[in-house]
Structure 1
Amino acid sequence: MKKLIIALVALLPLTGAAHAQTIKDMLATLRAAWDKPTEPFRIIDNVYYVGTAGLASYLITSPQGHILVDTAMPEATSQIEASIEKLGFKVTDIKYLLNTHAHIDHTGGLAEIKQASGAQVVAGERDKPLLEGGYYPGAQEEAALNFPPVKVDRTVHEGDTVTVGNVTLTAYETPGHSPGCTSWSFPVKDGDATRSVLIFCSGTVALNRLVGHPTYPGIVDDYRKTFARARDMKVDVLLAPHPEMYDMAGKRAKIADGAPNPFVNPGEFNTYAATLEKQFNDSLAKQTAALEKKE
């Protein structure tokens, strides 16, 4: 998976028909890994993994209704719905659909699940036009990156909350990966302890252009602001849109009755964010050098 993502980044200098065809072919390869099924399971307390093996989707439950954070590729929506039902919950009990960022691999099923559940879609304000237009920022012409548009019922900013029953999620603006990239934080019970969970939006560069004609204005400053705030954030449980970002499979294999929950790992987020910052700086330097050479 990591090699495929690196290959996607390598596409940035390409233009025209070759660029479009290469992105289409690369996404076809990624789909095979992203759409692979996996069994749903409880991560901690009332938080469940209902995504595919390659793309995360989280169900946060309460007696008064549920919150679903992110979907996967459009063709994997039925997997998410089946996983929710397999755990004993109902899609029709979902009250809110929260999105971390407006990319096809995390928004593909929003429109379909919204229709099936009647839930409200909530996202960062700067991602609203992307979600309602169904396109990747700065790449409206890339049909391979398009996804089913979905109406956003509510936009959020820093510190805004979404509540269902006794569950409250707080929005954190962490832009860069997308303009409205939003991370979601909330407390959970771990035995007698209370833990802080963060569903981190993302901080990878991916297909984003940082220089020349950037994916969107101010993208470099946005990344830097996100990395700066990440250094001081206190997180006990790191979750993210791609399961490999927090070794979901490895931790899942270590779950055992009566043992400490392997998903509780204070400081993991800060270490991961520092790695992302280095990758960002490397990408910025490479893209700058490539632009200067071209000019």
Structure 2
Amino acid sequence: MNSTTIPTLTGCGPSSTINQLFSQFGSSGKMPAELGRWLNDTKAQTVEPYQAFDNVYYVGICWVSAWLIKTSEGPVLIDTLYGEFTDQLIDNIKKIGVDPAEIKMVLLTHGHFDHVGGVSKLKALTNARFVMSEEGWKEAQLDAKNTQGKPNAWTMPAPAATDILVKDGSALTIGDTTFHAYMTPGHTWGTTSYVFDVKEGNNTYRAITIGGLGLNAIDSPQQVEAYIQSIDRIKAMVKDTKHPITVHLTAHPFSNGQIEVQNQLKVRQPGQPHPMVDANGLLEQLATLRANAVERLAVEQAQIKK
């Protein structure tokens, strides 16, 4: 398939085709019409919720993740989706037997609409504490403000007194689960990644939701440099000898083949390795992301020299 071929998407996946379309978007700065159509196709975006680990459920859509983690004191949600897809999220949460009103905490990765566009709707349903970096809140409010009067307008409330402006290294404990927050700027300046334990039977694995992977909102070489530093930091966490990260609960399912992994989970037999416990796969993904960022850094630096 040559670089000018525009692939067609008829449902959720495959990941390779979605990645190709996003690559074309990133290199040209213009969204391919096929990608724009697919992103707004409610049927294509619909994903039935599924259990990834004993305490982790996927409740998102095809192109954007939302993860629900059950703790001994109530559920924790990662990201809110946006628009009508937040309604799908709410339905998915109900399908796994959870009342959205019971959610104790909502962890927000960064201020882009696809991850936080549903905050207002969820705040009306739950007394959960919403968690994001201070810079992330600012980015979200600015992005929302800039959409007013446009067809894609959305709103982002200011953090309430009960919400948490998370800082690097913060530990947030709900029942038997502690969520560690790390500032990983690059995708945006306010991007936060979350690390916590997931369980299957007697096994416990350390997982991460990397707050942002794309280079689609870059405003300077310094931001790309920050991205590279964040990738290196996460790589060190994966290679940590005491508590290595081995599971990537991705923010976008197509980015690491999670779309295909969910099908592997359906046919997995007892005793077979868990397909999401894959430190080597995560390291390979990080290496690719870093290489792409190094190329982007050269482009950004060259533009300044002109």
What TM-score results when the alignment is normalised by the length of structure 1? 0.84
Is residue 169 of structure 1 aligned with residue 170 of structure 2? Answer: no
Counterpart AA for 1:271: E
Distance 1:4 1:145, change over 3 A: farther
Q: CA deviation at 1:232?
A: 1.3
Distance 1:144 1:210, change over 3 A: farther
For 1:208 and 1:144, locate their aligned partners in 2 and report how far apart those are by CA, in whole Å: 24
Counterpart AA for 1:111: S
2:293 to 270, 280, 285: 280
Question: Which residue matches 2:279?
Answer: 266
Q: Please list, as runs of the form range in 1=range in 2, the aligned pairs for 1:131-280 lying within 5 A after superposition.
A: 131-135=140-144, 147-152=154-159, 153-211=163-221, 218-234=222-238, 235-255=245-265, 256-258=268-270, 259-280=272-293
Give yes or no for contact 1:163–1:169 (8 Å, CA) kept in 2.
yes
For 1:183 and 1:146, locate their aligned partners in 2 and report how far apart those are by CA, in whole Å: 26
Q: Does 281-290 or 142-151 show the bigger shift?
A: 142-151
Paired positions, count: 276
Distance 1:28 1:251, change over 3 A: closer
CA displacement 1:120-140 (0-9 Å, x = unmatched): 21002221212334449xx78
Q: CA deviation at 1:241?
A: 1.0
Give yes or no for contact 2:66–2:79 (8 Å, CA) kept in 1.
yes
Distance 1:173 1:25, change over 3 A: same
2:87 to 58, 70, 78: 78
For 2:246 and 2:175, locate their aligned partners in 1 and report how far apart those are by CA, in whole Å: 23
Counterpart AA for 1:3: Q
Question: Which residue matches 1:17?
Answer: none
SS at match of 1:185: strand
SS at match of 1:123: strand
Question: Which residue matches 1:59?
Answer: 68
Distance 1:266 1:207, change over 3 A: same
Q: CA deviation at 1:143?
A: 5.5
Distance 1:68 1:223, change over 3 A: same
For 2:190 and 2:85, locate their aligned partners in 1 and report how far apart those are by CA, in whole Å: 24
Give yes or no for contact 1:104–1:146 (8 Å, CA) kept in 2.
no
Q: Does 115-124 or 219-228 show the bigger shift?
A: 219-228
Counterpart AA for 2:233: R
SS at match of 1:209: coil
For 1:57 and 1:283, locate their aligned partners in 2 and report how far apart those are by CA, in whole Å: 28
SS at match of 1:88: coil
For 1:233 and 1:146, locate their aligned partners in 2 and report how far apart those are by CA, in whole Å: 38
* Sequence identity (%): 27
For 2:149 and 2:304, locate their aligned partners in 1 and report how far apart those are by CA, in whole Å: 22
Q: CA deviation at 1:49?
A: 0.2
Is residue 122 of structure 1 aligned with residue 131 of structure 2? Answer: yes
Q: CA deviation at 1:9?
A: 2.3
Give yes or no for contact 2:21–2:35 (8 Å, CA) kept in 1.
no
In structure 1, the gaps of 5 or more residues are 13-21, 212-217
Q: CA deviation at 1:159?
A: 1.4
Q: Does 164-173 or 146-155 show the bigger shift?
A: 146-155
For 1:50 and 1:266, locate their aligned partners in 2 and report how far apart those are by CA, in whole Å: 23
Distance 1:181 1:55, change over 3 A: same
Give yes or no for contact 2:113–2:140 (8 Å, CA) kept in 1.
no
Q: CA deviation at 1:236?
A: 1.1
For 1:83 and 1:276, locate their aligned partners in 2 and report how far apart those are by CA, in whole Å: 31
For 1:168 and 1:220, locate their aligned partners in 2 and report how far apart those are by CA, in whole Å: 30
Question: Which residue matches 2:107?
Answer: 98
SS at match of 2:132: strand
CA RMSD of aligned residues (A): 2.6
CA displacement 1:25-48 (0-9 Å, x = unmatched): 787435236871010001112110
For 1:268 and 1:188, locate their aligned partners in 2 and report how far apart those are by CA, in whole Å: 18
For 1:200 and 1:121, locate their aligned partners in 2 and report how far apart those are by CA, in whole Å: 18
Q: CA deviation at 1:94?
A: 0.6
